Chain A
């Protein structure tokens, strides 16, 4: 029984990471109608920023999260304004290919800069956790979940309580109408992508605290972010949170099943994805299209 409770807790904690990864992905998809295949690469850029700050200046990984966000915000704004805006009205196959190309370029640049060596951020509190009977809760993962929930709160506040959020939602609802009432489309596109990238960067910072990072470590996260958005539903912050937590649970419980191994993370993601798409296309909490 305590084994099961342990798995559920680990699943929810892992789900927190998926929430963090999927928030930005979901925002960009919902507003810009772009499935950003470079999202995982942006996550890993954030992880490398945290790693660099930690190794160079011994900055605590959780304190470096705002720096991750800032760096990725700038990169994201430049990418959207300079490149992706050129293709924003093209058929989706083209934005797909474009973001895949960006992914290749980012991953290759990371390989050139940081090489393919495994990098990890190990703090003094990395191994410790709260022990309740037979159940162990690692502090670092609790920190990750907390950050993810704070991120979700920030995104909800930006979208629902600020003027810029209103403009972003307006663009997502109807580009032409938004432009008619005076929204600067190019700026809002770039801003939306930048916010998505900043969230990806923070997610990367969290990931660096418990996983060794390599330039190619981001690719699975893109697929998982997609599965989370499908599972939760598009167009709501709460749906992404629900989808992320549910997905973390499914993955941990699925991998602990005796007839599966730990090598099936992507296969599980995909099976969940297809089943949800076929059975309930709008996800757990998604809005009706």
Chain B
């Protein structure tokens, strides 16, 4: 799980870079063809409602997976409670817009603050725990936060909150794109700073990190807060985009597992791994769901996919780039043997 960027052979790197740039340009520019002016100029329409829904969802999971990666991938603390940050961000915007009549733009500025403060408060006791204990304690945070929100009258209790509808696929697409860019950039910057090396040191050996002068508590809580703020932004955008939120929608534990799977599948501990994982996995899930996510078959598909991925490619697809491992039957046999009884 060590960061393995910048080690690809130059030719492969160049071609991957080119492909990524083309894909990125398409994703950024294609929505513009839906503007009236472009339509009048006779440009072909490259996007429709389904396209916007799928791509915006993918971008949302890019934010969530990248945010999880800062805690789970870089610091080595497998959090199952990040969904609480997403939910709190969504409910912050929901409450401010629906109950107080704030404009969405202003409410969105508050969306990262509430989850970050929450992370600060729960981070101090929780980040003292390790392994299973941390994982399940955070799982409890996610479930319990959702349950409390579900019981609070002003937050709509079990009915949920309805926000005034804003019909602009373009707006939410670019907002989510900006959030995704921010999340990736944050990870990229962290990986190149003293702070990032401190986090990696904590992941590899916390005692040793403390001995060489890493203020482990401060570093861990800071990473937790950054992840919370990023997830909160995604939640805030989601609240207005969907114009309806309730506990089931924004505190779904299965979404938390999805972000973990994306980060792990793509390559935890790298800046671009979670992005690759989010894109690939969310597209697979959307295909399985056949448009209506949450169907029984997509759940079965996701469950089996989870099992197959963690058994056969535990180091993520990023392991196949750079010539260390080749995608082959032997690789699968090898990973299987490493972990089998």
Contacts and interface: CB of A to CB of B under 8 A. Distances in A.
Interface in A53-110: 83, 85-90, 92-94, 96-98, 100-105, 107-109
A189 B136 CA distance: 23
Contact of A35 (B132, B264, B297): B132
Nearest to B257: A100
A145 interface: no
Interface stretch (B205-213, B223-231, B305-313): B305-313
Contact of A93 (B135, B143, B307): B135
A19 interface: no
Interface string A198-215: 000000000000000000
Nearest to A106: B303
A23 B218 CA distance: 38
B340 A105 contact: no
A128 interface: no
B303 A89 contact: no
Contacts of B299: 104-105, 107-108
Nearest to B136: A226
A98 B129 contact: no
A146 interface: no
Interface stretch (A42-50, A155-163, A271-279): A271-279
Interface in B72-122: 72, 78, 80
Given A97-B261, A104-B302, A263-B147, A274 B137 contact: yes
Interface residues of B, number: 46
A266 interface: yes
B148 interface: yes
A253 interface: no
A265 B254 CA distance: 20
Contacts of A278: 125, 128
B126 interface: yes
B222 interface: no
Contacts, number: 137
A160 B59 CA distance: 54
A87 to B, nearest CB: 5
Contact of A97 (B129, B136, B260): B260
A92 B135 contact: yes
A210 to B, nearest CB: 22
B341 A273 contact: no
A89 B147 contact: no
Interface size grouping (class) on chain A: 35 or more
Which of B139, B141, B264, B302 has the most chain A CB atoms closer than 10 A to its own CB?
B139
Describe A's contact surface by its main secondary structure. helix
Nearest to A97: B310
A87 B340 CA distance: 5
Given A89-B338, A94-B339, A104-B254, A83 B140 contact: no
Given A104-B254, A104-B303, A112-B296, A89 B341 contact: yes
B251 to A, nearest CB: 11
A278 B134 CA distance: 11
A97 B257 contact: yes
Which of A83, A90, A100, A109 has the most chain B CB atoms closer than 10 A to its own CB?
A100
A35 B125 contact: no
A105 B296 CA distance: 9
A266 B150 CA distance: 12
Nearest to B307: A101
B171 interface: no
Nearest to B122: A274
A156 B53 CA distance: 55
B143 A101 contact: no
22 contacts: A83-B307, A86-B339, A87-B310, A87-B339, A90-B310, A97-B306, A98-B306, A98-B310, A101-B302, A101-B307, A104-B300, A104-B303, A105-B303, A107-B299, A185-B341, A223-B139, A264-B148, A266-B140, A266-B144, A273-B140, A277-B133, A278-B125
User: Which 7 pairs show the lowest CB-CB distances between chains A and B?
Assistant: A101-B306, A104-B303, A270-B140, A105-B303, A270-B144, A90-B339, A101-B303
Interface of A: 29, 35, 83, 85-90, 92-94, 96-98, 100-105, 107-109, 111-112, 185-186, 189, 219, 223, 226-227, 230, 261, 263-267, 269-271, 273-274, 277-278, 281
